[in-house]
Structure formats: C-alpha cells, structure tokens
Chains A and B, each alone.
Chain A
Amino acid sequence: MAANAEVTAGVAGAETYIQHGTHIDTIESVDMVFRAQRKLSFTYGAIFFGVTLAIPALSVVWEGWYATPIWGGFTANYLFVSLLYYIFLWTMAWTYSKKADRLDEDLMHMAEEIESKFKREHAAELTEED
C-alpha cells in the first residue's frame, strides 16, 4: 500500500484541479468547503473573542463585576477568570470539534459528488493526462 498518494495538479477544460491518487479537488469543491469552514470557524471565533474581551471590558466599567464579592472573597470577575472560563473553553472546543467533524463528513460527500461530475465531464482529458 502506498503511504503517500502521487499528487498531480492540472487544468481540465477551464477548470483547475488537484488529484491525490484517484481523488480530485476542483476549485468548485474547495470553495464550497472553504465557505462552510469559514462560516463555522468565524462564528465560533466571534463568540470566543466576544466573551474573552468582555472580561477586561467589564473589569474597566462595572464595579459589580470586579469589586463585589459573590461567594466568600470571589468576585464574578475572579470566579470567571479562575474557574468558569475553562468550562467555557472546554464547551467551545468540544462543540466546535464535533461540528467541524460533521461538516468534514458532509463536505467530503459533497466533494465526492463534485468529483464524480468533474470526472464524467472531463473523462477524456483526465485519461489523456494519465
């Protein structure tokens, strides 16, 4: 069994493609993957940065956040930074990984469909190049 696929890049018709073994990526399939991944990553990114930067913002403006004890000596600020922030990170990382895995599965199937269509449309050119 080959450990690494022979990688070829080329142009069939007007379309650029890249081939790993028998599997093909086209610009159409890659753009689809890219857009879906960008949406997922940037949505989670916005939540992550929103929450993370809200902590110092609240530390600047809201005394109830940084100076009012809510449990023994804990303020909401101290409790969040020392304990709750990790639960937030774990939840974010877990749900993102699961969603990204599911997205990968869906996108691979869609990419395979685009690949089949591409192979059908450019069968002659691909055979010539092989």
Chain B
Amino acid sequence: MNAIAIVLVIGLVLFTVGLSIFSRRFTRTTADFYLAGRKVGSFSNASAISGDYLSAASFLGVAAAVYASGLDGVWYAAGFAGGFMVVVLFIASALRRFGEYTVADFAFGRFGSDRIRLVTVLGVLLTSMFYMAPQMYGAGTTWSILVGRGFLGMSAYNTGVVVVAAVMMFYVAMGGMKGTTLNQIFQFWWLNFAAILLVVFIFGGGFSYPDALEAASSDTLVNSKTVTVADLVADDGAMLAKAEGAMSAEGFAEVEAAVVAGVETAKVNVVLPQVNKLHELRDLVFVEPGHRYNVLDQFSMVLALVLGTAGLPHILNRYYTNPSGSAARRSTFWVLVLIGMFYIMAPIIGLAGRELIANAVADGSAPTAAAYVDGLLVTASQIMPMMGQIIGGQWLLGIVSAGAFAAMFSTIGGLLIACSSAVGHDVYEKYINPNATEKQRVFFAKSAVIVFALIALGIGLGIPASGLNTAYPAIIAMMVTWAFAFGAGAFVPMLLTGIWWKGTTEKGAIAGMIVGGGGSLFIILLNILKTLGVLTAGGVLGFLGDLTYPTVFTFPAALLTIIIISKMDGQLPKNVDHIWMRIHGTAHERYEREHGLDKVGGMFGGVPGGAKK
C-alpha cells in the first residue's frame, strides 16, 4: 500500500466533496444547476472547460499513446487541442448568442421540431457514454496501481470503478454546475501541477528532448503484447521468431519456458517489433508516423480529433455559461493556452518513459504494482503513475494519482451534467412534466445524475470482460476518440449547417445526424469486431473494419446528406428569419451591453454594479 499517495488522493476527494457542499446553497434553480447562472468569467470558464476536457484520456492516455506509438500517439495531443479552433471559429459565439441550455435546445430552437430534439438527446447520451467508458476504465486501473487491492470481495479494478462512480454521484448531484465548475477549475490546476512536476523532475534528471528522441528512434519500435502460447506457435512459430529477434536473451527465456510447458491457452507477455502501416517498406521508428494509422486513417484521425471537439455536448454546454459571445471567444483562447501547455508536456513524459522505465526495471527499482516485459510496461496506460513513483517516490505517485482522479472527476462531472440536462431539461421539463415546479425539476436533474452514474459504473465494470482493454494499445485514448468520431459525425454537420446555412431544414438535419452518427457507430463497431477477431470478412466490411476512425467518410456524408435532403425538402421553419436573427443578430448583445449584463459576475453573487439577477 502506498500510504502517502493514498492520503493525498483521499485529501483530493474530501476537498472535492467539500466544494460541492459549499456550492449546494447556491444551486436553487435549474439555471444554476445546468449553467452556473451564466456568470462564469473567461479565465475561470477556460480553466473549467480545460478541466472538463482533460480527461483520463488526456492525463493517462496521451503519454501512454506516445509511449506505445511515438509520433502517431503525439497526434492525440495535437488533435485534441486543434479541436478548439473549430469551436472558436464556427460555433462558440453563435451558440452563446442563441442562448439556450443545451445542444438539444439549439436543435429544437433552430429547426422547431420535437423530433429533432429527441434525436439530439439520444446522440448526446451516446456520446457521453462513449466518453464515460474510458474514464471509468482509468479509475479502475489507477486504483489498481495506487491501492493494489479491492474491498468487499471486489477486485482492485472493480473497487476503483465503484469508488469513483459513488464519489461522482454524490458531488455532481450535490453541487450541480456551480459545484462542478468550481471542482473542474481546481481539478484542472491540480492535474496540470502534477504534469509540470513530472516534467520538472524529468528535465532535472538530465533529460534532453532531442537526444531522447534520437535514442528512441535509433532502432525499430517495439511494444509489449499479451498473447497465448497458441498464438506464438501458430504459422510455424512466426510470432515466436519475431519475439526472439526483439527480446533480450533473459526475457525470451521466460517466453520459451512457457512454450515448452505446452499449455496452449497460457498467456505470455512478449515484445514484438512494430510494422509501419503508412510506409510499408520502411522500418517503423519512434519519431516517424505509421504505427497506428495507414494513409486513410492519418487523415481520418486528424478530422475526428479536430472536428470531434465541436461535437462534445459536455464541452458545448459550457459555452452557454459565458456571459457574452466575446467572452466565449476569450474563453476558447485561454483554453487553447492551458490545454496546449499540458499537451506539450504529455508527449515528453511518454518519451521519457521509454528510457526511465527500462532503467528502473534493469536496476530493480521499478514499482511492483505494474507488470513489465523486457523493460517495457505491459499496460501502457499505467505510465503516468509509474513515472511518478519512479522519479519522485510515493509523494509524486500520490500527486500524479490524485491528478488522474482529478482528470476523471472533472470530466465525469461534465458528462453527468450533460446527460442530466439532456433527460432533465430536454425531456422531463418539455414532455413529461412541463408544469413541474423548480424544486421538482432540480430533484429530477439530480436523480438523473444518479442513474447515469450507475450506468457508467456498469460500463466500467464491463470493459475488462469485453477484452477491449487488451485488444487496443492505449485503450483509454482510443475509446475517447470514438466519442470524438461519433460527435464529429452526428452533431458537427448539424451545428455547422444550422449556424451557417439558412436553407438547412429539419428533415435534412435529422437525416444528417442519422447518417453521420449511425455511420460512425457502424464503422466503429466493425473495427472493434475486427480487432477482437470476430469479424474476418474481406470486401467492403473488411475495408471499413480496418478504419480506426470513420470521420473521413461520415463527416462529408452527413454534410452532403443535410444539403441534399434540405434542398429536396425545402420546408424551412415558418419563423426562419427570426431564428436567423437569434443566431446572428446583435440586438440582444447590445441590450446586454447597455445594461451591463455582458460583464462577468461572481458565480456566487450578483453582477457588478450591485445589480442582482
């Protein structure tokens, strides 16, 4: 047990819960619960958006992806950051100007039908669940490293998932958006602090970025893989021969011993040379592209990452909390600065891990909580806490683990608010009980938080059973990118055309969401089935199953569908001019400016000048 580290994490949890209890007294209305009263300043909002955005995928996943894949892993960082340019250029101010609570509200307000609101709600829930899954997996794996044991008869992994779900359930239901916003601000700075400490320790130990890259790229990239003895001896022992070429004599001796024992189902950790999917005739080295993506996927991945951010409901919801369109843009600039700092650091940690972890294994100082093969981590997603412990002992392990939990808490908080507002605000208040009192609405919103936290719990417990965690390298970053791909297909074409093309009709928008969202789901499913070995078909299905990201097809397909169906349909909402004026007009902002309502107020008080809302 890592006592110091555990105390630090418990401290974080208690502080988080304390902030929620403090915020509770300020959550009286649904506007408070969902939007923090629309009074969040640019820098605070930027910190909160950054906390919301930097999830387990970023904190644990980016360094892991770089550790496993080199340059193709670095793209996660660059793409996650680049996504905010699409938000600031095309979405942020228009969404704030439109002035509703949720993405589904926008769809309803823009296209004027209940049908599109419900389709959007479904999309919001699917995206959020896609995003929730890796957070819960991250919770289980971090707990396994930190505590190393389970309670009440559960495994360490399951205990981690249950604890995080329970804490989230409590603090989001208690504090609503105000509590979640305060927590996200604190959590962002904590996780950034953890990353800064890691990088300072790394450079303090004599790390040179260009030299480390040169050393990591001096030979073919190798990675660990867990396989069965049957896999190793299949095809006349082709994999065994590759492992022998890539592993040290000592490491390979253990593999050979397992093969000699002859238990075909026995699992063995091996190190294998990686192949170049982009330039098939070249050796794959750390600094070159091609570990994860072939030609099509190189573009599809970039599109999924930069477009997907604009399709994440929990991020878009935050834009409604800005007091003005200009503040929304300023927030986005600061988000880019804050997350950019983090995303510059994460690849450094991933690269440094290649050398430092191998050295620690060689001199016997590597933590025993993780498994290694030939100096490589068997589970790349463990790199952040492992690096913490190797370079800074229990204190740094504790700070980094608390950072990992902070990343999960802040994102899960945003996702639970997004899910809660989707069913609470968009369904309950509109269709189930339109005459609900404010108290009933807040009660329903809080109940929805508990229900979705329980669903997240189920998903988290189910991931290891599905085998996904061993099928993909750096599964945490991978799963989050599926959420991006789904959002990029389902929401972004609808939002872009809804904001920038007056001729978009409700039928066109729905058709686009179905084609983009449904197509993304279908291709992601094919890829999962192919990776798990369930789908072996060739032809079109096999081709689509090879695509890691569907966006290169689904985004243009959805956009074209919207344009074609809208042209064929031609039925614009009767009040389309008024809708257009709400999205692009300035009268509302002129009014707000005249009355000082575009100024930032304290989240826990009135607006400046003594005016009370």
Contacts and interface: CB of A to CB of B under 8 A. Distances in A.
Interface string B62-77: 0000000001001101
Given A72-B210, A97-B88, A20 B287 contact: no
A77 B344 contact: no
Interface in B312-350: 325-326, 329-330, 332-333, 336-337, 340, 343-344, 347
Contacts of A41: 89-90
Given A1-B611, A93-B332, A93-B336, 16 more contacts: A1-B595, A2-B595, A5-B588, A18-B587, A22-B591, A24-B587, A27-B580, A30-B584, A56-B301, A59-B289, A73-B217, A85-B81, A89-B336, A96-B89, A111-B590, A112-B590
Contacts of A12: none
B208 A60 contact: no
B590 A90 contact: no
B93 interface: yes
B68 to A, nearest CB: 16
B578 A89 contact: no
Which residue among A34, A60, A89 has the maximum number of chain B CB atoms within 10 Å of its CB? A89
B594 interface: yes
B333 A53 contact: no
Given A60-B295, A86-B81, A23 B289 contact: no
Contacts of B166: none
Interface string B14-41: 0000000000000000000000000000
Given A72-B208, A97-B333, A48 B580 contact: no
Contacts of A78: 71, 74, 213, 287
A124 interface: no
B71 A81 contact: yes
B84 interface: yes
Most buried by A among B216, B344, B582, B584: B584
A97 B295 contact: no
22 contacts: A1-B611, A3-B597, A3-B611, A9-B581, A17-B581, A18-B581, A24-B587, A29-B586, A30-B584, A41-B89, A52-B302, A66-B289, A72-B213, A73-B215, A74-B209, A74-B210, A74-B287, A86-B336, A90-B340, A104-B589, A108-B593, A115-B587
A59 B288 CA distance: 9
Contacts of B89: 41, 44-45, 48, 96
B210 to A, nearest CB: 2
A86 B590 contact: no
Interface residues of A, number: 65
B219 interface: no
B299 A53 contact: yes
B302 A55 contact: yes
Contacts of B227: none
A79 to B, nearest CB: 9
Contact of B278 (A18, A25, A60): A60
A52 B584 contact: no
A127 interface: no
Contacts of A93: 84-85, 88, 332-333, 336
Contacts of B209: 72, 74
Contacts of A67: 282, 288
B569 interface: no
B575 A9 contact: yes
Given A66-B288, A97-B330, A101-B326, A89 B85 contact: yes
B211 interface: yes
Contacts of A83: 344
Nearest to A2: B595
B493 to A, nearest CB: 14
Contacts of A111: 585-587, 590
Nearest to A17: B581
The 5 closest A-B pairs by CB, nearest first: A72-B210, A73-B213, A73-B214, A25-B585, A56-B298
B306 interface: yes
A111 B287 CA distance: 53
A59 B217 contact: no
Contacts of A107: 586
A126 interface: no
A57 B575 CA distance: 44
Given A34-B580, A73-B216, A86-B81, A59 B333 contact: no
Contact of A18 (B82, B210, B326, B578): B578
A33 B332 contact: no
A69 interface: yes
Interface string A61-96: 000001101011111011001110110011011101
A74 to B, nearest CB: 5
B577 interface: yes
Nearest to A59: B289
Contacts of B591: 5, 20-23
Nearest to B85: A48
Contacts of B306: 49, 52
Contact of B578 (A16, A48, A81): A16
Given A23-B594, A104-B326, A96 B88 contact: yes
B82 A85 contact: yes
Contacts of B577: 16, 27
Contact of A30 (B213, B302, B585): B585
